[in-house]
Homo-oligomer: A and B are copies of this chain.
Amino acid sequence: MNKRTADLLFEARMLKDLNRSGYAFLGNGRESIAEHCFTMAFICWVMGRTVSGIDPEKLIAMALVHDLAEARTGDFNYVQKKYAQVDEANALAHLAGNLPFGPDIVELVAEFNAGETWEARLAKDADQLSFILELKKLKDTGASFPERWLEVIVDRLRTDTGKQMAADILETRWDGWWLNGYRE
């Protein structure tokens, strides 16, 4: 352990204080980056239980670190990305500098961004599935806009596993897990 690790942990906890910027544009909902990362990491863990021939630890680790740079850069939605050139590499270099396992973070994010390995492709789908869960909840509770966005997001999925999970989510009520079997 070294002192720089404490800095890194505070940097990661900053993701709790930063909200994902897309919801303001949707006009409803709210989610911290940390909440998104938890949901994505959990989806990755589930994928690791059901997909064979991959490294499950790497898959989850990608979810945990993939937005870490946003503690320094902020979160950018579709519109904001048109106008802001984010130097994620530099942000990662600064947060990972002098850390014994700093290179691990840099490599994991690079592999995720490249999206070529199976783990990266699944992690990218988990990123979208996390958003699909949120849109489905908003749709089930009465918002009018998710209908349109769900199509767009589902279209981003690249793996059969991800597509199947999305199809299941869209056929499932967000409150079915406790509502089915409700009995006074």
Using a CB–CB distance below 8 Å, which chain A residues touch chain B? 1-3, 5-19, 21, 24-28, 31-32, 34-35, 37-39, 41-43, 45-46, 48-50, 56-57, 60-61, 64-65, 69, 72-74, 76-80, 82-88, 90-91, 95, 100-101, 104, 129, 133-134, 136-137, 140-145, 152, 155-156, 161, 164-165, 168-169, 171-172, 174-178, 182, 184
- Chain B residue contacts of A171, Cβ below 8 A: 3, 6
At the interface, is chain A mostly helix, strand, loop or mixed?
A: helix
Which of B72, B84, B88, B175 sits near A73, CB closer than 8 Å? B84
Bound Cα distance A95, B176 (Å): 12
The count of identical subunits is 6
Q: Output the least CB separation between A84 and chain B (Å).
A: 5
Question: Are A7 and B104 in contact, CB atoms less than 8 angstroms apart?
Answer: no
18 CB-based A-B contacts, threshold 8 Å: A2-B168, A7-B176, A8-B177, A9-B133, A10-B133, A18-B21, A18-B24, A34-B39, A42-B64, A45-B61, A49-B100, A56-B57, A72-B82, A72-B178, A74-B77, A78-B182, A84-B85, A142-B145
Which of B8, B84, B169 sits near A6, CB closer than 8 Å? B169
Question: Are A61 and B60 in contact, CB atoms less than 8 angstroms apart?
Answer: yes
Q: Output the least CB separation between A74 and chain B (Å).
A: 5
- Chain B residue contacts of A35, Cβ below 8 A: 16, 32, 34-35, 38
Smallest Cβ-Cβ distance to A49: which chain B residue? B101
